[in-house]
């Protein structure tokens, strides 16, 4: 007999004891391996949105499991008032693969972005406090990160928000130039918008922002919470465009599924974050550090950056065929293993149909199917996943149009 509660019993447990602030599918997931997960009834799912993009190496990657098991048996947690060898080594690995910055560790993307916002303000004169962010962006759910998120639907009922944020259209360099004032201290954005629907900036946009930042002495912050750590087939999304930021934030896949976040900053900017100005109790703890190191070692030992590029091309080819096959598939956008399939119909029924057929994907912005598959996804599983999506589009799309 299984030790797991049935899915229906688990739903009942949640209904009584868990705050219902998430829309959940009525499935109790109990086990994962690679790009597959199983529910308590034993049904297998191919997961092309594992852990909301956190499980970049799939479910339970062996090197990370081994590193965490070893670490918890030696040292689980010590405060950041002591040195930890693992944290220093982890920072070195990240610095050497990015722009030579220094690391501040925390627990999540929102925390990393809060640190970036504070550092930008601390590094510039007090009268320069305004930060330019972009419509469609997403930077987290804490109040500062949420204010940076230029999507009104997330602001409803929460005012007054944090002062000092100016929103510009994503990709509109002229609007940014117009928005810069003597009070501006930073420009903050995702190099590729994730939750906004895998929006890729137009050619020259990031280069233009770099030039504007240099011209006006602004801090350029790239939120790489979703694009970082190999997601695009490069170590970091900014390498996709050849534009380096001054500050970069990381989380999600940083520790291969274990909670962890980081802010990387150029040393001359990082120096403004002095003792007492910011902290994170669990940030960079030995378990997260062990997992973060193991994640980097796994990607390099298994050649996953190259494999991600192969996967990306296969998925792009298969996804682009959907545009020709279905008139309601408007556009496909692919940046490494960030895939957005924009529809002219609601995406939620497609996601539900895929789940019935044993495939897990996501829908964002109401009509954009989003895939964030693991880097070690088998090519054959990628093909199978796209075939299931095509079948779901066939089944649900016709019903939607006829309705």
Helices (H), 220-303: 267-270, 286-301
- State the DSSP string of 57-75: T-BS-HHHHHHHHHHHHH-
Say how far apart CA 199 and CA 134 lie, in whole Å. Answer: 12
Q: Put residue 171 in one of left, alpha, beta given phi > 0 → left and psi -120 to 50 → alpha.
A: left
The DSSP bridge pattern shows strands 219-223 and 184-189 to be: parallel
Statement to judge: residues 276 and 308 lie in one domain: no
Binding site members for N(2)-acetyl-L-ornithine: 141, 280
Contacts of 267 (CB under 8 A, 6+ apart): 100, 101, 102
Question: Which of 252, 225, 219, 253 has its CA nearest to residue 238?
Answer: 225
Task: Provide the total of helices (H) and of strands (E) in the chain, helices listed first.
Answer: 12, 15
Domains: count for the chain: 2
Six token digits for residue 80: 């950041």
The secondary structure element, H or E, covering residue 15 is helix 7-17
Same domain, 246 and 284: yes
Q: Is 386 part of any domain?
A: yes
Last residue of a domain, one of 302, 322, 351: 302
Burial of 136 (0-12, 13-18, 19+ CB in 10 A): buried
Per-residue pLDDT of the chain (403 residues; tens, 9 = 90+): 578 999 999 999 999 999 999 999 999 999 999 999 999 999 999 999 999 999 999 999 999 999 999 999 999 999 999 999 999 999 999 999 999 999 999 999 999 999 999 999 999 999 999 999 999 999 999 999 999 999 999 999 999 999 999 999 999 999 999 999 999 999 999 999 999 999 999 999 999 999 999 999 999 999 999 999 999 999 999 999 999 999 999 999 999 999 999 999 999 999 999 999 999 999 999 999 999 999 999 999 999 999 999 999 999 999 999 999 999 999 999 999 999 999 999 999 999 999 999 999 999 999 999 999 999 999 999 999 999 999 999 999 767 666 6
pLDDT of residue 188: 98
Position 311 scores a pLDDT of 98
Could you tell me which of 186, 167, 183, 164 has the C-alpha nearest to residue 175? 167
Q: Which of 302, 323, 338 is the last residue of a domain?
A: 302
CA 175 to chain centre: 26
On whether both 118 and 260 belong to a single domain, the answer is: yes
Structural domain contains residue 77: yes
133 and 85, same structural domain? yes
Q: Classify residue 327 by burial, with Cβ atoms within 10 Å: 0-12, 13-18, 19+.
A: exposed
For residue 55, give its domain range. 7-60+304-402
Residues 74 and 147 placed together within one structural domain of the fold? yes
pLDDT at res. 401 = 61
Same domain, 138 and 253: yes
Instruction: Could you list the residues known to form a binding site for pyridoxal 5'-phosphate, using ranges.
Output: 109-110, 138, 223-226, 281
Q: Do residues 140 and 281 share a domain?
A: yes
Q: Find the distance separating the first CA and the last CA of the chain, reported in whole Å.
A: 44
Contact 186, 218 (CB under 8 A): yes
This prediction's pTM: 0.96
Q: 88 in a domain, yes or no? A: yes
Q: What is the CATH number of the domain that holds 104?
A: 3.40.640.10
29 contacts 368 by C-beta, under 8 angstroms: no
**Alpha-carbon dihedral of residues 188, 148, 123, 228, nearest 10 degrees?**
-50
Pair 45, 358: CB distance under 8 Å? yes
Residue 2 located in a structural domain = no
- In sequence order, what DSSP letters do the residues of 276-288 get, joined into one string? TT---SSTT-HHH
- What is the DSSP pairing of strand 102-106 with strand 130-134? unpaired
**One domain for residues 313 and 278:** no
**From CA 73, how far away is CA 230, in angstroms rounded?**
29
134 in the same domain as 78: yes
Domain shared by 37 and 102, yes or no: no
Q: Which of 251, 284, 302 is the last residue of a domain?
A: 302
Query: 160: helix, coil or strand?
Result: coil
Nearest CA to 172 out of 133, 140, 139, 138 is that of 133
185 phi/psi in degrees, rounded to 5: -115, -20
Q: Do residues 321 and 298 both lie within one domain?
A: no
DSSP of 23-47, one letter per residue?
Answer: ---S--EEEEEBTEEEETT--EEEE
Q: Do 275 and 376 fall into the same domain?
A: no
Residue 190 maps to a domain: yes
Closest CA to 335 of 371, 288, 384: 371
Tally of CA atoms within 13 A in the half-sphere of 344 that contains its CB: 9
In a domain, residue 1? The reply is no
The CATH code of the domain that includes 311 is 3.90.1150.10
Please check whether residue 360 lies inside any domain of the structure.
yes
Residue 298 inside a domain? The answer is yes
User: 103 forms bridges with which residues in the sheet?
Assistant: 264
Residue 373 near residue 48, CB atoms below 8 Å: yes
In angstroms, the CA 194 to CA 196 distance is 5
> Annotated binding residues, as ranges?
109-110, 138, 141, 223-226, 280-281
């Amino acid at each position: 007999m299984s030790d797991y509660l049935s899915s229906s019993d688990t739903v009942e447990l949640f209904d009584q004891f868990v705050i219902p602030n998430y829309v959940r599918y009525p499935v109790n997931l109990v086990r994962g391996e690679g790009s597959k997960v199983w529910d308590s009834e034993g049904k297998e799912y191919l997961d092309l949105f594992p852990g909301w993009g956190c499980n970049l190496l799939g479910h339970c990657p062996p090197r990370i499991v081994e590193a965490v098991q070893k670490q918890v048996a030696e040292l689980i947690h010590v405060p950041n008032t002591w040195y930890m060898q693992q944290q220093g080594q982890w920072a070195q690995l990240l610095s050497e693969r990015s722009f030579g910055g220094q690391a501040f560790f925390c627990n999540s993307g929102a925390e990393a972005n809060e640190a970036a916002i504070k550092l930008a303000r601390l590094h510039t004169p007090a009268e320069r406090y305004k930060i330019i962010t972009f419509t469609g962006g997403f930077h987290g759910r804490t109040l500062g990160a949420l204010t940076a998120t230029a999507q009104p639907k997330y602001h409803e009922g929460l005012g007054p928000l944090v002062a000092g944020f100016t929103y510009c259209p994503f990709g509109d360099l002229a609007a940014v130039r117009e928005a810069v004032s003597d009070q501006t201290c930073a420009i903050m954005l995702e190099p590729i918008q994730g939750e906004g629907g895998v929006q890729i900036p137009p050619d020259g946009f990031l280069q233009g922002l770099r030039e504007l930042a240099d011209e006006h002495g602004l801090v350029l912050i790239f939120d790489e919470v979703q694009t970082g750590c190999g997601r695009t087939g490069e170590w970091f999304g900014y390498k996709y465009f050849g534009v380096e930021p001054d500050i970069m934030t990381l989380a999600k896949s940083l520790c291969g599924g274990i909670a962890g976040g980081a802010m990387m900053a150029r040393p001359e900017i990082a120096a403004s974050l002095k003792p007492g100005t910011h902290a994170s109790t669990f940030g960079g703890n030995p378990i997260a550090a062990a997992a973060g190191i193991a994640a980097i070692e796994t990607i390099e030992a298994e050649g996953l950056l190259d494999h991600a590029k192969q996967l990306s091309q296969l998925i792009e080819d298969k996804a682009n065929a959907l545009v020709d096959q279905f008139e309601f598939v408007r556009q496909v956008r692919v940046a490494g293993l960030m895939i957005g399939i924009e529809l002219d119909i609601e995406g939620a029924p497609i996601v539900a149909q895929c789940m019935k057929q044993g495939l897990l994907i996501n829908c964002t912005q109401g009509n954009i199917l989003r895939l964030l598959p693991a880097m070690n996804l088998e090519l054959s599983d990628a093909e199978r996943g796209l075939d299931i999506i095509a079948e779901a589009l066939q089944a649900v799309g016709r019903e939607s149009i006829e309705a």
